[in-house]
Amino acid sequence: MRVLVTGASGQLGKDVVALFQQKGHEVMGCSRSELDITNLEQCQQIINEFQPDSIIHCAAYTAVDAAETDVDEAYRANAVGTRNVAVAAEKAGAKMVYISTDYVFNGRSEVPYQEYDNTDPKSVYGKSKRAGEVLTQSLSSRYFIVRTSWVYGLHGNNFVKTMLRLGQEKPQLQVVHDQKGSPTYTADLARFLEELVQTEKYGVYHASNSGDCTWFEFTQAIFEEAKELGFMIKAQVESCTTEQFPRPAPRPANSVMDHLSIRTNGLTDFRPWREGLVDFLKQIKG
């Protein structure tokens, strides 16, 4: 399969490119400098020349707090950029995979979100990613919308790497205990995308590692597993509330997503989040 990956130098993009190549696909990985998704003509030219069977659209504006004041840039990347990729994909006859987020929901549900629950984003980031979903659904006849959450991997900055560093530097840390979700290891997400894109089971998917935890519980697990592997963690972790850590963008209290589409389409579900975490820490440790 010929696969074009946008945002190929990002945290998820790098793992997607590596895994798809490993599986024998012909991959064109485009970083921001190689493909400006906000430029429609460039999207059409590059995608038309490569003639991919599938496009994995990882490129996005992901600075959640900055988006609150940088509204135009968030929409330029997440809405306009996604439209450009979707239009070019449709012209080339390619399948379109749009990576979306738990932030399209308001986070107030008492139960995990299913794929066809009503969206209600509360942050600019969430609204701009929802705009990308709508444009993908409107413009592509063969699309997969894949919502994920709490993503971490070997490349780039993420929560796990930050906690590992702080855990070795600080005597004490406070982490919120009133926001829950499902951590997602990029290597596991890439594997799911590689399985999904070879099907014609189009639609919306929730894709995260199985199970859920709060950020506080996630941090506890990071420290416990890191110590087992010989990391010198000295920090004591304390729970606190969201109110104690005000941020420009509102955070969902509940980001847990039910994998209804994975189950009903007979696809391989994700392993528990803690198993993914252990593998990631082993990779970091080397």
Q: What is the DSSP track for 124-187?
A: HHHHHHHHHHHHHHHH-SSEEEEEE-SEE-SSS--HHHHHHHHHHH-SEEEEESS-EE--EEHH
Cβ contacts of residue 162 below 8 Å, gap of 6+? none
Number of helices followed by number of strands (H, E) in the chain: 10, 12
Longest dimension (CA), the chain: 56
Q: Please identify which of the residues 61, 113, 125, 205 carries the catalytic annotation.
A: 125
Q: Which of 102, 26, 25, 95 is nearest to 57 (CA)?
A: 95
Cα–Cα distance, 74 to 62 (Å, whole number)? 8
Measured between alpha carbons, how far is residue 46 from residues 29, 35, 86, 228 in Å? 11, 8, 13, 47
Q: Which of 5, 2, 26, 25 is nearest to 15 (CA)?
A: 5
**Phi and psi (nearest 5°) for 156?**
80, 180
117, amino acid identity: D
Cα–Cα distance, 34 to 70 (Å, whole number)? 23
Measured between alpha carbons, how far is residue 105 from residues 47, 63, 239, 242 in Å? 31, 17, 25, 18
User: Would residue 125 show up in a list of annotated catalytic residues for this protein?
Assistant: yes
| Residues assigned a catalytic role | 125
